[in-house]
Amino acid sequence: MTRREAMAGGAALAAAMARAQEQSGVRRYARFRAGERTAYGLVAGETVAEFDGGLFGARRPNGKTHRLSAVELLYPVEPSKVLALARNYRSHLNSGAAPAPEPKRPEFFYKPPASLQHPGKPIVLPPDSTDVHYECEMVVVIGKRAHNVTKAEAASHVFGITAGNDVSERQWQGGPDKDIQWWRAKGSDTFGPMGPYIVTGLDYAKLAIQTRLNGKVMQKDSTGMLIFDVPSMISFASRYVTLEPGDVIFTGTPGRTTAMKKGDTVEVELEGVGVLRNPVA
């Protein structure tokens, strides 16, 4: 088979994948590394069809297809900013010794983009950390610029969703000697695993989400139990911060969390998206 024939075959496969996903209304996108190149692609089964033009531009299949097992999956988007919500599930508010009051507005904080980590890569515990917890979360990916948008307008600014782990050092976050800000408690390197895919076309208002630690289910809930839904959080944030395509919002974690230790494996599973798996080192 010539290179031209291979490219033509790849283009035909990519077109067939796109048609099949168009019919289902759900599409799955990956950012990946193949050799020395980094690219985006459309995922179907165990195949990813590479395209040119970027995730938010005109996506043009370039005829190259890859087996997922042959590429390295990366966190699926490169945001200019990472916002995250605290206290957004009642089950989390009620998981401590005493119930916490519900917030009156979405309670945002920042995680630096440098905290993001790829699927399969390790969450690295800082040497002086003592109480680092997992937090399974649905992550919203912004698809178009949002500045001071209404709640009714907000949904049209969502590109898709992915899974995230808002790793948190509880002693730095709220212990007796806590920091003024959560800059290291939530933002240390590798404290933001995200992936494995961005999925569009899902009803993200009612998806099952869970955390497994070494195979044992530790958190389990539904995105239908969010205190502030996705349009509310986007509308509120956009009053003060302009959200750009590729920016992400970690939407909060449910239930009770516990500490991780070196050698553990933590998995976040979001219905329709897949499993985000990371070892702890």
> pLDDT of 83-119, one tens digit each?
999 999 999 998 766 678 899 999 999 999 999 999 9
* pLDDT reported for residue 22: 53
Tell me, what's the pLDDT at 163? Answer: 99
Q: Domain ranges for the chain, please list them.
A: 3-74, 82-279
Domain 82-279 is in which class? alpha beta
Q: What is the pLDDT of residue 94?
A: 84
Q: What is the pLDDT of residue 10?
A: 52
Give the per-residue pLDDT at 177: 87
pLDDT on residue 126: 98
Put simply, whether the predicted model's pTM sits higher than 0.85 gets the answer yes
Say what the pLDDT of residue 80 is.
Answer: 98
What pLDDT does 181 receive?
A: 96
Read off the tokens for 152. Answer: 């009714």
Residue ranges of the chain with pLDDT lower than 50? 6
Distance between CA atoms of 63 and 80, rounded to whole angstroms?
Answer: 30
Do 3-74 and 82-279 share a fold?
A: no
Query: What does the alpha-carbon distance between residue 200 and residue 198 come to, in Å, rounded to a whole number?
Result: 7
Q: What are phi and psi of 29, to 5 degrees?
A: -115, 145
Classify domain 3-74 by CATH number.
2.30.30.370
